Amino acid sequence: MIDPVDNFEIPKEWIALAQIPLNELEEQVSKGLLVVLSNGSTLKRGYTTGTTLAAAAKASVLSLKQNVERVCVPTPVGLRACLDIKIQDGCAIAIKPHSDHESDITRGLEFKACARLIESTEKTTQPTERIKIIAGEGIGTVVRNGFEIKKGGPAINPAPLQQIHDAVMEAIEEIRFEDCKGIEVTVSVPRGVEIGKETLNSRIGVEGGISILGTTGFVEPWNDHLGETKEVLAKEATKVVITTGRLGMRYSTMLFPDHTIVMFGSRISEGLGAAAGNVEEVVICGLPGLVLKWGDPDILTDSGFATVSDMMINDPENERLSIAFEKTIEKSNGARIVVIDRSGTILMDSGRRS
């Protein structure tokens, strides 16, 4: 069974422990809605702000010609996302679904879109040129350089913006607006200004609302534990996994469902320091580049390889890897070391050595 959101092959042992009927599990996993953990339990994914807004945008166009109660829209990973819709004052509203990501403050929010036909005498050559997306109330504005979006532009990342365009294009095709000269869709988040103040947006350079995000279209059901709370989480947990990045976060959550997962990036030593109190078990889990290089900073010196991952793929029997692994174990002060690849496969695990 493959999780289609991250292309992860779920181990058969995990599926055998599943606590829901197999046919239901297969259906929900195939839709990208469930994540299976190593103990057989499951977590529910949600939809991103981008997916939710795309659904509202599509419904707003459809509502120009027909009643709308539910729509399905494309996601960047190729799956379809289906949401209920309500039509109000000529606009469409989609509510961002709840997931098992307990810190997702945008779940339950209303995302709104209002569509109107554009009258124009100028003929366009490309279908997408007929679509104009306008960011309205509650969507933040980028006030700093360095983003994928230019300073002064609406905080809608490229992937969700394309998703909205694709959803609107689907609507145009579904209701056969062949003679349509153009569609203008104004998207908004009625409580976005209020909720934006509870996020880190103002610190990173987005003001006046929330950001519209999502590289896959789905919200993973765990907290990235970014910011000032990570040391507290590591210190207060009974069992903790120190992980190095978002892939490490994803797979650690599946591999160690009874642990608190905290992302420290390259600051593994800080994580160990925070977990040095009464924590029963500490695991360091992540990709080889950060984990092994933390244990052995000289692993690549005069090796002929640019990255640790390159060495792992092209010369997996290289003695430097085993030496770095031993140094990592020694430096970890008793923590279990688990090195994974980008597909979630365990490459090295000090807890499984005889």
- Tell me the β-bridge partners of 185: 115, 133
What three-state secondary structure class fits 101?
A: coil
The reported pLDDT for the residue numbered 223 is 61
Give residues with Cβ within 8 angstroms of 228, minimum separation 6: none
pTM for this entry: 0.76
Residue-wise pLDDT tens digits, 143-168:
988 777 889 999 999 999 999 999 99
Question: Which residue would you say has higher pLDDT here, 252 or 182?
Answer: 252
pLDDT at 354 over 80: no
User: What digits encode the pLDDT tens for the residues 302-344?
Assistant: 998 888 888 988 899 999 999 999 999 999 988 999 999 988 8
In the chain the domains, ranked by start, together with CATH numbers, are: 1-44 (3.30.1990), 47-219 (3.30.2110.10), 224-352 (3.40.50.10720)
Taking alpha carbons only, the member of 104, 67, 83 closest to residue 167 is 83
Give the confidence band of 108 by pLDDT, cuts at 50, 70, 90: very high
The pLDDT score that the predictor gives to residue 13 is 92
Strands 110-117, 91-95: pairing kind? antiparallel
Inter-residue contact 18 to 65 (CB < 8 Å): no
- Over residues 2-25, the pLDDT tens digits come to 999 988 889 999 999 998 999 999
- The pLDDT, as a whole number, for residue 228 is 45
In this structure, is the dihedral angle defined by the CA atoms of residues 124, 125, 129 and 130, taken in order, positive or negative? positive
Give the position of tokens 């200004």.
193
Predicted pLDDT of residue 203: 77
Tell which wins on pLDDT, 124 or 307. Answer: 307
Instruction: Say what the pLDDT of residue 180 is.
Output: 65
| Confidence check: pLDDT of 209 > 80 | yes
